[in-house]
Structure 1
Amino acid sequence: MNTFIIAEIGINHNGDLKLAKKLIDTGVIAGCNAVKFQKRTIDKVYNKEMLDSPRQSPWGTTQREQKEGLEFKQEDYEVINNYCKEKGIEWFASAWDIDSQIFLRQFNLKYNKVASAMLTNISFIEEVASEGRYTFISTGMSVYDEIDRTIEVFKKKNCPFELMHCNSTYPMANDDANLKMIQKLSERYDCKVGYSGHETGTLVSICAVAAGATSIERHITMDKTLYGSDQKASIEPYELCLLVREIREVERLMGTGDKILSEAELAVKAKLRG
């Protein structure tokens, strides 16, 4: 088993390319398979009333200024694309609207991601599935009927996918992990099922691998005290390194499932059974 590990940068870069590069480096050093961002077209995702409402942030006093401060521009994504190629790590992004999904196509990314918030937006789902790229689909806040409809689209479009068990609270209480859902989703939909976590620490994510998760996605940050709504549900560099190391150890410990006597056990058998 080779768990696909995604370091979710999301919006924890705070609109700062230097910080984004540090987070990419963190993913590389830890041994992750990919890093992931989030892409939004502000005026498509949020209405004017909301954007004009007050919100204090490093970028100003309105929701619009805060949202725009967190968004990278075309030239920023070109830098990210080139930097990830230079560092030898895959990158992709979860789009929060169709325009953002179309925007991402120019980079010919290997993977797509459907965020839990977008799972019931069928017009968006059809747009993603039409690309035919391997897609990770988070299932937070979703009931079976909603997941059924999304998977029906992916199957109709013949687009490969992997579900991700998820609880969309930030941070998630460990008691809400419900990791048995990984196997249930796998059995119901006959597909790979990963885990997208928002808990503090690494224990739940490590247990998710033992429970059968084929991918792990965790938000990462350089410092949990930085500005941002996702920072506290993220893990810092030392935790990410620990997580990757422990996941690889769990993979080794889980073995093959075949009943094979090792050389050491055969020697004990010869001694105790004669």
Structure 2
Amino acid sequence: MGSVRIGARPVGPGHPCFVVAEIGINHNGNLEIAKQLIDAAVDAGADAVKFQKRTIQVVYSETELAKPRKVDESIIRNAMGRSVIEDIKYSVLPEESLARLKEDITNTTNGDLKYALEFGIKEYDITDLYCGEKGIMWFASSWDGLSAHFVNGYNVPCHKIASACLTHADLLKRVRSNGKPVILSTGGSTMDQIEKAVNILGREDLIILHCVANYPCPDHELNLLTINTLRQKFPGVPVGYSGHELGVLPSVAAVALGACIIERHITLFRDMPGSDQSASLEPSEFRRMIQEIRRMETVMGDGVKRVWDSEVPVMQKLRRKVDF
């Protein structure tokens, strides 16, 4: 089976599992939280961190954005105060939203949340520099063509297609045109849809992730043997696992089944506001998961039956008869 190079790291059978700490939008629009999550990922031993990028007015309709939605006040206050970064003024929230929220900060909409969580060029400039200083790769899942173009403006080692975007043919073509490896998540997708997406992307420099789009996902829906199914369906394409379950056992088990990438959300605290926090691992859990993954890689061995030197004196003592 083939391997794909992400940065300096070969990813695929025979190579150590590549571990991605998905920050996503768990930073809640706050750069300091993003930095803390990057630090936690580095401390845990992750190979990369991942973000999510959307052009809000492209991804969501006006009707969706206008829907009333209760938003944690800390997220809104942070967005309202995030108007100057490194002496550059810019607006996070649309003028209409700012005017409404200044009158009543509790009068929030779905759009307020989406805009508040989105990082722009200044945040990504700072994030890019910070990851470089910390020695960790970063990339993002782009939810639209403009975002794919934006992310590719940085020296990212690969691009990610989120499960929700697997059926977006134009986006798949746009991301593939960047000429970098692509990681494809498959949550909520049929095998027919996955096959069509793979046909668009091509199999070269492609990694497929088994995923279940439920947050958090109960054990009976994880269906980890799908990792084997995907490997058989797409021979030569490395297969990994993007998990949203509670705990670390299923992710470690996925490595035993041959997953070459493990992607898990990371959060400072699971009780923080945000839709992905409850399906995320806290820093100590993320560190333990990577430790267990590395242990699993050791205990799996190479499959060659051998007699270890340590076994010889034991057999000399315990074996009663040797006829062959």
User: Would the aligned equivalents of 1:31 and 1:244 in 2 still touch at CA under 8 Å?
Assistant: yes
- Deviations, residues 137-184 of structure 1 (Å, cap 9, x unaligned): 1111111111111111222xx641110000000110011111111011
- Deviations, residues 239-273 of structure 1 (Å, cap 9, x unaligned): 00110000000000000111222111233344435
Unaligned runs of 5+ in 1: none
Is 2:169 the partner of 1:122?
Answer: yes
Distance 1:159 1:63 in 2: 38
Distance 2:313 2:221 in 1: 45
Equivalent of 1:176 in 189, 197, 221: 221
Structure 1 counterpart SS, 2:227: helix
Which amino acid in 1 is paired with 2:151? L
1:122 Cα deviation from its structure 2 partner: 0.6
Structure 2 counterpart SS, 1:229: coil
Count of residue pairs the alignment pairs up: 272
Which amino acid in 2 is paired with 1:244? I
Match of 1:258 in 2: 304
Distance 1:51 1:270 in 2: 74
Distance 1:134 1:257 in 2: 30
Higher Cα radius of gyration = 2
Runs of 4+ in 1 over 4 A off after TM superposition: none
Distance 2:62 2:247 in 1: 37
Match of 2:151 in 1: 104
TM-score by length of structure 1 reads 0.96
* CA-atom RMSD in angstroms: 1.2
- Deviations, residues 80-118 of structure 1 (Å, cap 9, x unaligned): 000000000000000111100000111021011110000
Equivalent of 1:160 in 196, 205, 224: 205
Identity of aligned residues (%): 44
Match of 2:131 in 1: 84
**Worse-superposed segment, 78-87 or 261-270:** 261-270
Is 2:212 the partner of 1:187?
Answer: no
- Deviations, residues 215-262 of structure 1 (Å, cap 9, x unaligned): 100001001111101000001011001100000000000001112221
Distance 1:143 1:232 in 2: 26
Structure 2 counterpart SS, 1:6: strand
Match of 2:16 in 1: 2
Is 2:52 the partner of 1:38?
Answer: yes
Match of 1:134 in 2: 181
Distance 1:37 1:219 in 2: 10
Equivalent of 2:256 in 210, 233, 236: 210
Unaligned runs of 5+ in 2: 1-14, 77-104
Which amino acid in 2 is paired with 1:168? A
Which amino acid in 1 is paired with 2:132? K
Distance 1:209 1:171 in 2: 20
